[in-house]
A and B are shown apart, each in its own frame.
Chain A
Amino acid sequence: MKRLLQILIWTAVAALGAVALGTIAFHRGEPINATWFVLAAVCFYLVAYRVYSAFIAAKLLALDNTRATPAERRDDGRDFVPTNKWVLFGHHFAAIAGPGPLVGPTLAAQFGYLPGTLWLIAGAAFAGCVQDFVILFCSIRRDGKTLGEMARDEVSKRGGLIAQLAVLTIMIILLAVVALVVVNALKSSPWATFTLAMTIPIALLLGVYLRYFRPGRVLEASFIGVALVLFVVVAGQWVADSPYLAKVFTLGGVTLAFAIIAYGFAASALPVWLLLAPRDYLSAFIKAGAIFSLAAGILLVRPQVLMPPLTRFVDGSGPVFAGKIFPFCFITIACGAISGFHSLISSGTTPKMIQREGHARFIGYGAMLLESFVGVMAMVAACAMTPGVYFAINSPASIVGATPEAAAATISSWGYPLSAGTMTGLAHAVGEQTLLNRAGGAPSLAVGMAQIFSSTIGGERLLSIWYHFAIMFEALFILTVLDAGTRVGRFMIQELGGRVWKPMGRMNWMPGILLSSALIVGAWGYFLYQGVVDPLGGINSLWPLFGISNQLLAAVALVVATTILLKMGRLKWIWVTLLPMAWLVVITMTASYQKIFSANVRIGFLSQANSLAAQIAAGKIAAAKIADTQRNIFNLRLDAAVTAVLAAMILVLLVEALAQWYAILSRDKEPVLQETPYVATQWAEGD
């Protein structure tokens, strides 16, 4: 009887999901309500979790709850700490969910709501969650080894080096692109700049409090910090209204870029307790609060989605970034569907804290489903605004024009009606001088979120406060990624440098710290500066590069996972990791090829460089701009080279892995699995 009831309930959930998915896929004409998106996503996730993750846990991985996990065997109260599965879920989710699932879907909304939403939902269930889950499992079975160590042990030494280099490369591109998102959100906005600048003294205050007055009392310090941050969001309004202060905090893109570069250097070189850790605490609480509020807001307001399912830009001529749905939708939305970076978390802290192997399903697969849901909500928030407004905020001036009148005329001519007054009125309502040409996703998401929040609390009157709250929230946790990433990058450079010159490897040697901090900050700072001065808006070239590198890392993770599973004799079910891996290789290779060689100057780095060079040769560039153009040409060729290196890395790794797979399958050599030996758990069932 109970079984029958279960079957009936799950059939109903599946049917509801199918109806909701069908509705968002085939709906045309009138706007569609956002509730359909929530229903489609949640039902799909529930069924995927109930069926697919259970299948992976039982058949592919054969999770074994009688086997002691590293947290049980090596419990030291520091790294290896057995942790309740709900707490660890929260931990893991806070670590994997960054700005990516918010920004990527917002940018991909230029194709319409449909391609991005489908990729977010299906990509997560069949690729992203699988990667996170399987890598977590592999790392648990290896005492919490990192992805790089597993690649070295299970694939080859070269595989390990490639994984390490891929991580460093992705880190540099990631840090540059997220910094660019912050620059585009803050430029010419005294309110937002003041609010974000104030989070630095607040973090320093908390740092000193936690270090000297109440060591480790994270909760009370965070409550004080969050209250202060909310106060400076409101206080920003007074700064924007004061003629003198507004002038001080109104900064251009280049100045902001240098300020962020200086901040990154300071956060990397200063003691971690002073700036980095307290900011991270603040960010974790505000992130959890904002994501929860966004979900609650969407459910309460149930906004209409005004963006059509597909826009005219599916042909690749999009103003936000150039390129067709295939492969660029799948590159633009990395986090939220599949993100290689997650494999570093799944093979980092989480495997050392898990109590039971069986929890890996809930934590690895489940947390990624939740991140995908955040992506779907970001898509809803971006698509709930008028398409004309969305394109005005996200398109660079070189395409739509720099004035409200020019932008309104261009965007209306595309078939998305927009009046200049709408943009001026909206900017005024959110307390900004302008909202035009702010490519990067953060401002348009903030407008979407502010509209949803203000429909729940405060109405039009609080729109500006909600907008700046949303900007602060995005910028705050982007900066957390930035400073934490810069510090990790510094350690990687010190470690790699230590192989060549011993003193560099000493983690507390001050000249080494300063030099490696300067190197990592210089690397991402260079790409950031290049993005800021790029006439096409920077996001057009940097975001795809980030997507390619992130998906490349995911492919690396899936290659490692497939190799391990083959060694475990799971050939029958190998398609579970093999198919998403093949898909990632296809999209990263196609996107890399197009970004390097496409004849379309908005897509191909080389053709754009050649076109600019031809313009200089033909005397079409003014003498004053020749130096700038030559620098632009160099940068484009550098981007092409970086893309080529990324593509070459995955090809080399793939060849290494194929040789391994052939040897295993043809039984040329006995597969050697580097698993820690089985130890039976001492804990009672149900602990």
Chain B
Amino acid sequence: MKALWLQLEEAMRNFWRGVRQWSGDSAYETYLTCAQRQLGQKPMSATEFYVEQLNRKYSRPNRCC
């Protein structure tokens, strides 16, 4: 029973992580992890990253008919 509960908890956690990734909610965290790997560059602030990311995203076709 406990194992089943743990499995369910794990599945819910994965689902929530997926929803955050899908919606872009965790995009800044992903960026920071990546920026930490690339030494020598000062990472952007959350606001800078948010605006920069939107400007890039909406400059190419990203919503279809």
Contacts and interface: CB of A to CB of B under 8 A. Distances in A.
Interface residues of A, number: 60
Nearest to B33: A77
B58 A272 contact: yes
B62 A215 contact: no
A77 B31 contact: yes
B1 to A, nearest CB: 28
A339 interface: yes
Given A219-B19, A281-B23, A488 B59 contact: yes
A76 B49 CA distance: 13
* Residue of B18, B47, B56, B61 contacting most chain A CB atoms (<10 Å): B61
Contact of A90 (B18, B47, B51, B53): B18
Given A75-B34, A216-B27, A219-B23, A273 B59 contact: no
Contacts of A480: 63
Contacts of A349: 57, 60, 62
Given A90-B22, A216-B24, A487 B58 contact: yes
A349 B55 CA distance: 14
Contact of B61 (A99, A211, A345): A345
Contacts of B57: 277, 349
A284 B23 CA distance: 8
A484 B58 contact: yes
Contacts of A96: 64
B34 A335 contact: no
A335 B19 contact: no
Contact of B64 (A87, A216, A281, A341): A341
B12 to A, nearest CB: 14
A136 B32 CA distance: 28
Contacts of B46: 215-216
B54 interface: yes
* Residue of A78, A212, A273, A488 contacting most chain B CB atoms (<10 Å): A78
Nearest to B32: A77
Contacts of A95: 62-64
Nearest to A281: B23
A100 B64 contact: yes
Contact of B59 (A284, A341, A342, A491): A491
B21 A84 contact: yes
Given A272-B58, A480-B63, A83 B31 contact: no
A349 B20 CA distance: 18
Interface string A69-109: 00000011111010110110011001111111000000000
Contact of A335 (B32, B49, B65): B65
B35 interface: yes
A83 B30 CA distance: 10
A484 B62 contact: yes
Contacts, number: 129
Contact of A341 (B28, B34, B60, B65): B65
B25 A219 contact: yes
A87 B30 CA distance: 14
B56 A99 contact: no
Interface in B25-50: 25, 27-28, 30-35, 38, 45-47, 49-50
Contacts of A550: 65
A89 to B, nearest CB: 9
B54 A481 contact: no
Contacts of A401: none
B51 to A, nearest CB: 6
Contact of A280 (B18, B60, B63): B63
Nearest to B46: A215
A335 B64 CA distance: 9
Given A95-B62, A284-B23, A349-B62, A273 B51 contact: yes
A485 B49 CA distance: 23
A174 B50 contact: no
Contacts of B23: 218-219, 222, 281, 284-285
A233 B50 CA distance: 30
Nearest to B34: A77
Given A90-B22, A215-B47, A344 B53 contact: no
A481 B55 CA distance: 16
Contacts of A522: none
Nearest to A171: B61
A341 B63 CA distance: 9
A488 B50 contact: no
B62 to A, nearest CB: 6
A78 B59 contact: no
A442 interface: no
A344 B63 CA distance: 9
Contacts of A384: none
Contacts of B50: 210-211, 215-216, 273
A341 B24 contact: no
A98 B64 contact: yes
A240 to B, nearest CB: 30
Given A77-B31, A218-B24, A178 B65 contact: yes
B61 A344 contact: yes
A98 B34 contact: no
27 contacts: A77-B30, A77-B32, A78-B53, A84-B18, A86-B18, A90-B18, A91-B22, A99-B65, A100-B64, A211-B50, A211-B51, A212-B47, A215-B28, A215-B46, A216-B25, A219-B19, A284-B23, A335-B64, A339-B65, A344-B61, A344-B64, A345-B61, A484-B58, A484-B61, A485-B63, A488-B58, A546-B65
Interface of A: 75-79, 81, 83-84, 86-87, 90-91, 94-100, 146, 167, 174, 178, 210-212, 215-219, 222, 271-273, 276-277, 280-281, 284-285, 334-335, 339, 341-342, 344-345, 348-349, 480-481, 484-485, 487-488, 491, 507, 546, 550
Please provide the 4 A-B residue pairs with the shortest distance between their CB atoms, ordered closest to farther: A77-B34, A77-B31, A100-B65, A344-B61
Given A87-B21, A178-B65, 14 more contacts: A77-B35, A78-B31, A83-B21, A94-B22, A95-B62, A95-B63, A95-B64, A98-B64, A210-B50, A215-B47, A219-B20, A281-B24, A349-B60, A546-B65
